[in-house]
Amino acid sequence: MAEILVLGAGMVGTATALALQARGHDVVLADRRAPGQETSYGNAGVIQGEAAEPYGLPTNPLTLLRLALGAENAVRLTAAGVLGQAGALLRYLNNSRTARHRAISAVYARLTARAIAAHEPLVAASGAAALMRPHGFRVAFETARAFDAARPEAERLAKSYDRGLRLLDGAALARAEPGLRLRYPGAIEWTDCWACSDPGALVAGYADLFARRGGQVTRAEAESLTRAGAGWRVTGPDGPIEAARVVLALGPWTPALLKRFGYRAPTVAKRGYHLHLRGAPTLNLPLMDTTVSSVMSPMRAGLRIATGAELVPMSAPVNRSQIARAEARARRMFDLGDAVEATPWVGTRPCLPGMLPVLGELRRTPGLWVHFGHGHQGFTLGPVTAELLAETMAGVPSDLASALHPDQAIH
């Protein structure tokens, strides 16, 4: 019997296994697929050290109406997606109001401030440095009016949270990204970020590091989790896997599994899409085009176009509307070839109404731990919150870990 079983081999689960292993625990990392092949594979590939405040919902009624009518590409709403999670959305909306959002951001900013330092030793030890560009992330604006309107907020964030910021005029952006065919009047560059050219490979590299250090990586179905005496058991291809404690790091699939054990974890499921386009654009850093609210990232597979959010049930069919707008924009920006994939990649971000991830042991079920709810920033925050979870398991007190206790979100 292992000491700890971590279910979920995305960035969050893999980082959890590494952090626990570093403290001398006997850990098994299990997933139904190979490490880094689910939600962690599909992001824009940015470790966002600049992300000091979580994404809130707009509270202005006119803005909400525009979203409902499909006027903004940042968010696509559907009736089933909204009505099916109305309670969680209302709580999320309440937490998006200014005073509450600032209080949440005070905790969130402490997490993202640690992101680069948490990833750096893992990148080095896993031999993944070739995947990384430790330089920044840019946000470009189509009009001077939009650029001027965004600057005060960017400057507030940089000053309030001590984040690195550069404001680029159109000429400076053109020099920095000579492959751009469009000319923008300006861009915001956040310098406290790292870009990754293959997010799935980075997670796989971290999992290989865990295995080289003596950990076990295996396949298992999380849905098979059951009590086994005082411990836990899942079913793998080679038989049962047992452990004294289990950590659920299953991202958007965590709430469904928790329901089997009598817990409710209201979650706002935000779907995202990406598509790779062939070609060789000389894009040096990930670039968000605010016209279509999509991030264009240079990847080993091609130029990755990553969309904003779509509120739909997890089982809903693919809708190409957001990715189609982003693809059309990308083809204006660069000389691109065919799409690599026949259909866009689809994944769901696990966003809790409180906008903060949760970690810790569930009080009613000793030995059952959770680590999920990172929303848009699981790829960024996995190693940060994994360290906090490992400290919590060791009995090390932390006000930051206390703020992320599952009692805040799970009932």
State pLDDT tens for residues 160-178. Answer: 999 999 999 999 999 999 9
Number of domains in the chain: 1
Reply yes or no on whether the pLDDT at 69 is more than 80. no
**Phi, psi of 187, rounded to the nearest 5 degrees:** -150, 155
Q: Looking at the domain assignment, is residue 332 inside a domain?
A: no
Reply yes or no on whether the pLDDT at 91 is more than 80. yes
CA 282, 284, 288, 291 dihedral sign is: negative
Reply yes or no on whether the pLDDT at 17 is more than 70. yes
Reply yes or no on whether the pLDDT at 281 is more than 70. no
Structural domain of residue 401, as residue ranges? 1-51+197-266+353-411
Distance CA 256, CA 130 (A): 37
Burial call 101-121: b when 16+ CB within 10 Å, e when fewer: beebbebbbebbbbbbebbbe
Nearest Cα residue to 92 out of 306, 409, 378, 348? 409
Encode pLDDT of 215-263 as tens digits.
Answer: 999 999 999 999 999 999 999 888 899 999 999 999 999 999 999 999 9
What residues contact residue 72 under an 8 Å CB cut-off, 6+ apart? 63, 66, 293
Nearest Cα residue to 138 out of 182, 180, 178, 190? 190
Q: Looking at the domain assignment, is residue 209 inside a domain?
A: yes
The CATH number of the domain holding residue 393 is: 3.50.50.60
Reply yes or no on whether the pLDDT at 356 is more than 80. yes
Reply yes or no on whether the pLDDT at 102 is more than 80. yes
Arithmetic mean of pLDDT, 1-26? 97
Nearest Cα residue to 126 out of 40, 192, 38, 215? 215
Are the C-beta atoms of 349 and 311 separated by less than 8 Å?
Answer: no
Arithmetic mean of pLDDT, 77-101? 93
| pLDDT the model gives residue 354 | 97
Q: Looking at the domain assignment, is residue 14 inside a domain?
A: yes
Distance CA 117, CA 112 (A): 10
Q: Looking at the domain assignment, is residue 327 inside a domain?
A: no
Are the C-beta atoms of 197 and 134 separated by less than 8 Å?
Answer: no
Per the structure block, which two tokens stand in for 16?
Answer: 């959890």
| pLDDT the model gives residue 408 | 83
Range of weakest confidence among 15-29, 122-136, 277-291: 277-291
Q: Looking at the domain assignment, is residue 57 inside a domain?
A: no
| pLDDT the model gives residue 279 | 84
Q: Looking at the domain assignment, is residue 42 inside a domain?
A: yes
| pLDDT the model gives residue 280 | 66
Q: Looking at the domain assignment, is residue 275 inside a domain?
A: no
Distance CA 187, CA 8 (A): 37
Mean pLDDT of the chain: 94
Burial group, residue 328, by CB count within 10 angstroms (0-12, 13-18, 19+): exposed
Nearest Cα residue to 295 out of 146, 74, 61? 74
Considering only residues 61 and 343, tell me which one the structure prediction assigns the higher pLDDT. Answer: 343
Q: How many CB atoms lie within 10 A of CB 135?
A: 14
Distance CA 70, CA 32 (A): 36
Owner of token pair 């939600």: 39
Q: Looking at the domain assignment, is residue 360 inside a domain?
A: yes
Arithmetic mean of pLDDT, 24-32? 97
